[in-house]
Amino acid sequence: MYKFKCLSFILLAVVFLSSCATASLSRYHGVGRVKTYNIYSEQVPDSFDGFRIAFASDFHYESRFTKKRLPGLLKALQATKADVFLMGGDYRGRNGGNLTELFDVLSQFHTPYGTYGVMGNHENNANYDLVKQEMERTGMHLLEHRVDTLWKGDEFILLCGIRNPFDLKKNGVSPTLGLNPDDYVVMLTHTPDYVEDVDVSNTDLALAGHTHGGQVSFFKRFSPVHNSKYGNRFISGLKYNKVGIPVIITNGIGTSRKDIRLFTPSEIVLIILHKLRK
């Protein structure tokens, strides 16, 4: 009995300390870290060598991510010094949240190429119109099965957004199929499963969320909750689909179901594109 009580106490202490680690160790209250990925490709245009992409997803405002954490989010975003800001969906928490408060703060993050976003599964209801309204109000671009072009002089990269990636009957044909394979294409989709379930040819880099990094992770290899049919394969970090297309999966900002994180810090992702020289 004594050993059981000691073990229970240790487990509770680990949960408490790890859940507090984000707040105590991070420079940004409410955001655990800014995680950087350097991506190299021969198809990155010369003028986009060093181009910086900030990516955030799964805000779930308000969940564990509450109003008092908004200043930390803005500080973390501004620290990326990004050229463009991309958002991966799930803006509102399961118990609701003031989206005007959230988007007022997000709109204060100014980048040379603006802000683009897609919808998540939490927008497959009345939240869809609320998020769309806020994006329009704050001048953000909603990418739903369409492609936009970012120009630098006479060179460009392409941004592709996926509409409701869970409905493959309607959205199972990727907008990238008609693109030039020589162009550099960044795909934005809420779930990483889409890049495995669908032919996303001509995509050079996919960005996704939805998994929350599992929210609880042990030894960075196992999580009891994955939110992906592929289990831990697409749970977090830089992964590759079956044909070798890279996909970066973020842990996200907020929480879903249970407002707890264990060894899966909330994060802003910074992607820096590099021209790979032959």
Let me know the angle formed at the C-alpha of 29 by 234 and 21, rounded to the nearest 5 degrees.
65
* Nearest alpha-carbon partner for 205 in 50, 36, 39: 39
For residue 64, what pLDDT is reported?
Answer: 81
- Work out how many domains the chain is built from and give that number: 1
DSSP calls for the chain: -HHHHHHHHHHHHHHHHHHHHHHHH-SBTTB-EEEEEEEEETTS-GGGTT-EEEEE----BSSSS-GGGHHHHHHHHHHT--SEEEE-S--B-TT---HHHHHHHHTT---TT-EEE---GGGSSTHHHHHHHHHHHTT-EE-SSEEEEEEETTEEEEEEE-S-TT-HHHH-S-GGGGS-TTS-EEEE-S-TTHHHHS--TT-SEEEE-SSGGGSB-BTTTB-S--SSTTGGGGSSEEEE-TT--EEEE---SS-SSS---BS---EEEEEEEEEPP-
For residue 58, what pLDDT is reported?
Answer: 95
3-state secondary structure 115-165: EEECCCHHHCCCHHHHHHHHHHHCCCEECCCEEEEEEECCEEEEEEECCCC
pTM over 0.75: yes
Structure tokens at 70: 């908004």
Query: Which CATH number belongs to the domain containing residue 247 in this structure?
Result: 3.60.21.10
CA–chain centroid gap for 54, Å, is: 9
**Alpha-carbon separation of residue 59 from 85, 186, 210 (angstroms):** 14, 21, 10
Range of the domain at 204: 2-275
Taking the chain (278 residues) in runs of 10, the rounded mean pLDDT of each run is 38 38 64 96 98 97 90 97 98 88 98 98 92 98 97 98 97 98 98 98 97 71 71 91 97 81 88 93
- 99-106 and 70-79 helices, crossing angle to 10°: 30
Question: Within 13 A of 94's CA, how many CA atoms are on the CB side?
Answer: 7
